[in-house]
Structure 1
Amino acid sequence: MQALPLTGLDEQNRLQAKSALVTCRSLERRWLLRLLLRPFLRLFLRPFLRLFLRPRHASAPADGPVPAWPGPSETKQRGTPGRFLTRIETGACPEPLPRRFQRQRQRPPPLLVWPRVILFGDSITQFSFQENGWGASLAERLVRKCDVVNRGLSGYNTRWAKLILPRLISKSTGAESTVAVTIFFGANDSALKDLNPKQHVPLEEYAANLKSMIQYLKSVDVTEDRILLITPPPLQESAWEKECLAKGDKLNRRNATTGEYAQACVQVARDCGTDVLDLWTLMQKNQDFSSYLSDGLHLSTKGNSFLAAQLWSHLENKLSALPSLLPYWRDVDHTNPEASLL
């Protein structure tokens, strides 16, 4: 562009000519800059706009496919000034959105929380899932209603149990889904101090430990109506003495001592407002209670059946009303299983 001659003009006209010259040069620079940047914008910025500046359609369904981009007819023509700015403002793109970005917005189905019954105790609980065990019997009754979780620890007493209980049940591990907890200790706590000091727990500490575990469960929202204490079973001394002698030990338990711990367990349940199953008393209503025990201490098949029946009489009102989880297979619509299962 040629410069305008400024000679022969008065001062006012000269200023107007200079202003016009500056305006022309400014337009020229803009035109050159736009001409240089156009290839860059086409190669790099347009794909960026396709991916990240998609229009949000208010009418799009929540769970439906994402609508395609508006077509070229919804934007300005290619030769129209301000074309690129218009595309940014409208979010329009001449091509439809690639298929990989047209995924349906689906919400996952809600997590199916399985209620659970936790059996917490010593070896009598640990062995309860063996064949014909009382824990297995309970699990069979509650199949598809809740999980029966075995947390039996052979040889443990209440001193050790109260330390590990927070690691087994907490709010973060689904305490709200726990519908019942059995606490079944005392057979090891009642061991004679002189002959078995490792497992022995004094009677007063035994009662305090039971109360401590109940208080902890209540602190994680397992209410007292969902807690069941079970006393230790009676001890058949002659049979257990044979077991001890076979290991080179003396008789390290007495039935009378076990009875004191059973009474303490019953008293703790009364004080704390929980349910209790006095197994020590119930088994001795039969004069020949030795048939309930396999070795004088642990339960036989008959003893497991007896405990399972007694336990269910305490839990039936709480658990029998639980619904079966997921529909019966004949009730599933095979042409549209999602309608039945999700």
Structure 2
Amino acid sequence: MTKRGWVAQLSHAYIHLFDVINRGYSRYTSRWMPPLVPMLSQWSPCLLVIQFGSNDAMPPPSTRHVPIAEFRRNIEQILASIELSATSVILVTPPSLGVKLYEATNDDVGQTFESVKACADAVREIASAFSVPCADLWTTVKEGAKEIGGEVDGYDAYSYDGVHLSADGNDLLFDVLMRTIRLQHLHLDPDSMPFTVPYYRDVDAALADGMDVTKPVSRE
């Protein structure tokens, strides 16, 4: 099954511009991430995309259950450890839970609409408090699914089990992120950034003219 991962799409969008490093860990919660944040400093990232919530919203006694108060503290701790003047940040809400689709494809008891919504609400509030952009995937998925409708309330357009994103869901998250970047971090818009190496057409032309080809050039 091809999922067209949103991180892979970011990597393609920023090819020749930045290295995109994927540090998304399967089944991780916000509780497990703060101790790992210092390792990010070795890369001096210009942009961090942070998304938690779906795993945290698992019910007790699951080992992944994180009470909403702790969830807030964990996200705040992550942001407090980042030098926001040097690193741009985008917080991403978890996608809205497709209850009917989840019940149709899962036998176990998992997240509820309300528990995931609580995490999405918290992410939006924390983003506002820290003055960082928020890519509201929750609302985008919920409104899109409502417009589609159907037997599983339209969530099958974005997810294969009501929780995890399908190929089209990954496309949607990529689009939401790119819109957020262009609205909130315009200097990081890949369509207007110069290559970190000379553009090949300019190299060809410069070599033909005997010019210096070692400087980055704009694609304007």
How many residue pairs get aligned? The number is 199
Q: 2:202 aligns with which of 325, 331, 335?
A: 331
Paired letter, 2:78: M
Give distance in 2, aligned partners of 1:263 and 1:230: 11
Residue 204 of structure 1 corresponds to: 69
TM-score normalised per structure 2: 0.82
Moved more, 267-276 or 279-288: 279-288
Q: Which secondary structure state, in structure 2, belongs to the residue aligned with residue 284 of structure 1?
A: helix
CA distance in 2, matches of 1:244, 1:131: 19
CA gap of 1:292–1:131, structure 2 versus 1, over 3 A, is closer
Deviation of 1:154 after TM superposition, in Å, equals: 0.4
Alignment of 1:45-124 (within 5 A): none
The answer on 1:284 being equivalent to 2:142 is yes
Q: Does 1:308 align with 2:166?
A: no
The answer on whether the counterparts of 2:106 and 2:161 sit within 8 Å (CA) in structure 1 is no
After TM superposition, the structure 1 = structure 2 runs for residues 81-230 of structure 1, keeping only pairs within 5 Å, are 131-167=3-39, 169-170=40-41, 173-175=42-44, 178-194=45-61, 196=62, 198-218=63-83, 222-223=86-87, 226-230=88-92
The answer to whether the 8 Å contact 2:155/2:162 transfers is: no
CA distance in structure 2 between the partners assigned to 1:312 and 1:227 by the alignment: 13
Q: Does the alignment pair 1:293 with 2:166?
A: no
What per-residue deviation string (whole Å, max 9, x for no partner) do you get for residues 3-51 of structure 1? xxxxxxxxxxxxxxxxxxxxxxxxxxxxxxxxxxxxxxxxxxxxxxxxx
Work out whether residues 230 and 279 of structure 1, in 8 Å CA contact, stay in contact via their aligned partners in 2: yes
Tell me: CA distance 1:300–1:131, structure 2 relative to 1, closer, same or farther (3 Å): closer
Residues 1:162 and 1:243: Cα distance change in structure 2 (over 3 Å): farther
Give the Cα–Cα distance (whole angstroms) in 2 for the partners of residues 254 and 152 of structure 1. 23
The change in CA–CA distance for 1:242 and 1:341 in structure 2 (over 3 A counts) is same
Partner of 2:127: 269
Do the aligned partners of 1:240 and 1:251 also contact (CA within 8 Å) in 2?
no
Structure 2 gap ranges (5+): 147-153, 216-220
AA of the residue aligned to 2:97: L
How far apart are 1:174 and its partner, in Å?
Answer: 3.4
For residue 315 of structure 1, report the CA deviation from its aligned partner.
1.0
Structure 2 SS opposite 1:239: helix
In structure 1, runs of 5+ residues without a counterpart are 1-129
Distance of 1:228 and 1:337 partners within structure 2:
43
* Alpha-carbon separation, structure 2, partners of 1:339 and 1:277: 41
Give deviations 1:100-121, integer Å, cap 9, x for gaps: xxxxxxxxxxxxxxxxxxxxxx
Greater Rg by CA: 1
Structure 1 residues 187 and 131, CA gap change in structure 2 (3 angstroms)? closer
Q: For residues 289 and 131 of structure 1, do their structure 2 counterparts lie closer, same or farther at Cα, with a shift above 3 Å needed?
A: closer
Cα distance between partner residues in 2 of 1:322 and 1:328:
12
Distance 2:75 2:209 in 1: 51
TM-score using structure 1 length: 0.54
Aligned residues of 2:101 and 2:155 also touching (Cα < 8 A): no
